[in-house]
Chain A
Amino acid sequence: MKLLVSAEESGALKEVICVKGTDTSKQHAPQPTSIKTYCQETRYTKIQHFILYENYLVAARQGGSICIYNAEDEYAEVKKLDNLSASADDAFVSLFELGDKIYACTEAGNLSIIEPEKWKYRVVKLKGPISTFCGDVSRPGIFAYGGKETDLTVIKLDTMEVVFKGKNVPNNNLDLREPIWISKVAFATDAQDEPDVYKLVTVTRYGHVRYYDSTKGRRPVLNYKLSDKPLITMAKLNDSEIVCSDTHVTTAKFNFKNGSMLGKFQGAVGSIKAVHVLNNVLATGGLDRYVRCFELGSRNTIAKVYMGTQISDVCLVEADEEQPEEKLQEAKPKAKEQEGLEQKSEDDESSDEEEMWQKLQTSLAEKRKRRKLK
């Protein structure tokens, strides 16, 4: 497995190569083959998001700059685009590649569209504040965004025409307005959909998972309260399933079409800041400084690596590798042997008094039985 991780505290990018079964918390488990650090800067210019584009790595850094690194040449800097954000505090909320263009959006609504290879960009202003921005893979030119008190909006970017606007859910039982704060959005378009049908799934900072279908009105068709804590990440797995995590320790798989929780991914101690899915493997990273890989079906941890700094984004580059079974088999008996040794040592300690009492008791009991039989 090969993972790329952005280190928050050092502003660096880390490349981890490990086998399945890696666990840095266990001395006798396989350890990562290599952890290399690249593109080190400071904490104040940390990488907020990054993606791999062909053989380039595009990283959006705090302070409004986007750096392009050559992934094949030890992540050497190719180009740096500055001043893409509205202010110094303006953070990048999303960065993705779609239809040979790279889109980066900031919280205030500065959307930069970058042309790869030439590395030229133009900036489009959206109405902020924005917490998430995403594009439809099947229909180029259609994008969706949402944020704090910015309800879900789907636009055609060329004409800036709003094609679908979400409507807030009805007031609650006290007739109070439900606040809006969309934290992540994804298109859930089916292949057989008409071109003007928009299906989307969102997660909110108020713990909701919502599914919108433009054929059935502007309000969410399905609305589930998943958690009391803000949901901050989401990765769409298929037509009906998502993986999302909250600001506490929960990362869960959820079916947004019938509202059932499909299971939690155990292990995290701190909040998960980034999730990434590739080939049935889920990679998570967050404030507990561990990057973990899970198998999506069984939800078992298949790798756990300590990174040394908090993590703002992860990317699983290669999920598959030949399983070095020999190593695993070797490792297991060792652990068993150790346990055996420990037990032995404990046995030695147990004082001879206890032994004696046991002897006393058993022999007395036997005698008593015998007496009864007679």
Chain B
Amino acid sequence: MPSSTEKLKSIKNKQKRQQLFAKYKDEQNKKKHKIRAARAKEELQNPELKAKRLATNVPNTIENMRVYDETVNTELEGEDDFAEYFTNREKEPKILITTSPHAKKAAYRFSSTLMEIIPNSSFVKRKREYSMKDMSEYCSNRDFTHLIVINEDKKVVNGITFIHLPQGPTFYFSISSLRDRKQIVGHGNPTEHIPELILNNFTTRLGQTVGRLFQSLLPHKPEIQGRQVITLHNQRDYIFFRMHRYVFKNEEKVGLQELGPQFTLKLRRVQRGIKEEIDWEHRPDMDKEKRKFYL
């Protein structure tokens, strides 16, 4: 609208000019809504148009402008440390959960929720005198397949370490946005059935390793009669944990009930063995490039 904007420019009174500009914006908005309504009407009658518009008009997002990564969707070469879980279907995972030393209530509460979620897991109170390496050794002697250490600082759960036993690797994630089950409105309570697992967007080689870690935490066969599902959704290197119960209402509709908890994981470090050489480590300068993702 060159004419109206030209007119606006010549107004010397700032308040008047702003007023008129607001009015102009409002008009533009209304016009936009009208066009949209008309388009919706049109597309309702002719769905082809909508399909065509959606196909051609793809907005740019950070995800689809992602920096090229040659490891995306490549097949795994050889075997990694998790290969045993996938080949030996007889052996079920056995998990020990513990906390950082001098843990407070928050850490214990979180570990009890984790125990409810992860089948075949047990909790042991952390003793100061044992390091992570000692604990992993004792755990591997007792046939545990994973050791989970919950990190708590100033009464806030802020990190979680997964150690795959007996030979590693070790993963450290930071935890943020933790919401307990009770904080979720309309939440349900999980049953003891083995949940299903949905892994979303773990595409790069590193992402596959992380995905395989989560896979190896749960027994091979989910009990589908429990209708419980754990979702680990990776978006821009943040992994969102959600747990739901589903119900098929009819052939098309599915009802979801959130079971909680909700939290967000961010991968900070992957180490080979039990906290040995660095395999991958997050550096602050990795966040500089907004369109580069590692998982």
Interface residues of A (CB under 8 A from B): 7-12, 24-27, 42-43, 232, 247-249, 269-271, 273, 287-289, 306, 308-310, 345, 349, 353, 356, 359-360, 363-364
Kindly identify which residue among A25, A42, A247 contacts B70, using a CB–CB cutoff of 8 Å: A25
Q: Are B9 and A360 touching (Cβ within 8 A)?
A: yes
Q: Given the interface contacts A24-B70, A25-B69, A360-B8, does A287 sit within 8 Å of B77 by beta carbon?
A: no
**How many residues in B have their beta carbons less than 8 Å from beta carbons of A?**
24
- Chain B interface, >50% SS class: loop
- Chain A interface, >50% SS class: loop
Kindly identify which residue among B8, B80, B280 contacts A9, using a CB–CB cutoff of 8 Å: B80
Q: Are A271 and B277 touching (Cβ within 8 A)?
A: yes
Kindly identify which residue among B69, B78, B80, B281 contacts A12, using a CB–CB cutoff of 8 Å: B78
Residues facing A in B1-44 (CB within 8 A) are 5, 8-9, 17, 25
Q: Are B78 and A11 touching (Cβ within 8 A)?
A: yes
Residues facing A in B110-128 (CB within 8 A) are none
| Residue of B whose beta carbon sits closest to that of A8 | B78
Per-residue A-contact encoding for B269-283, CB less than 8 Å = 1, 0 else:
000100011111100
19 contacts between A and B (CB under 8 A): A9-B77, A10-B79, A25-B68, A27-B68, A42-B79, A247-B278, A248-B277, A248-B281, A249-B281, A269-B281, A271-B277, A273-B277, A288-B279, A306-B70, A345-B60, A353-B25, A360-B8, A360-B9, A364-B9
Q: Are A270 and B77 touching (Cβ within 8 A)?
A: no
B71 in the interface (beta carbon within 8 A): yes
Q: Given the interface contacts A247-B277, A247-B278, A287-B277, does A308 sit within 8 Å of B77 by beta carbon?
A: yes
B205 in the interface (beta carbon within 8 A): yes
Q: Are B5 and A359 touching (Cβ within 8 A)?
A: yes
Min distance, Cβ A370 to any Cβ of chain B, angstroms: 13
Set of chain B residues within 8 Å of A8, measured between Cβ atoms: 78
Complex CA–CA separation, A147 to B80 (angstroms)? 28
Complex CA–CA separation, A25 to B69 (angstroms)? 6
The 5 nearest A-B residue pairs measured at CB: A10-B78, A9-B78, A271-B277, A308-B77, A247-B277
Per-residue A-contact encoding for B64-99, CB less than 8 Å = 1, 0 else:
000011110010011110010000000000000000
Q: Are B78 and A26 touching (Cβ within 8 A)?
A: no
Set of chain A residues within 8 Å of B277, measured between Cβ atoms: 232, 247-248, 270-271, 273, 287
Q: Given the interface contacts A247-B278, A270-B280, A287-B272, does A306 sit within 8 Å of B71 by beta carbon?
A: yes
Q: Are A248 and B205 touching (Cβ within 8 A)?
A: no
Complex CA–CA separation, A287 to B69 (angstroms)? 17
Complex CA–CA separation, A50 to B77 (angstroms)? 20
Q: Are A269 and B70 touching (Cβ within 8 A)?
A: no
Min distance, Cβ A215 to any Cβ of chain B, angstroms: 37
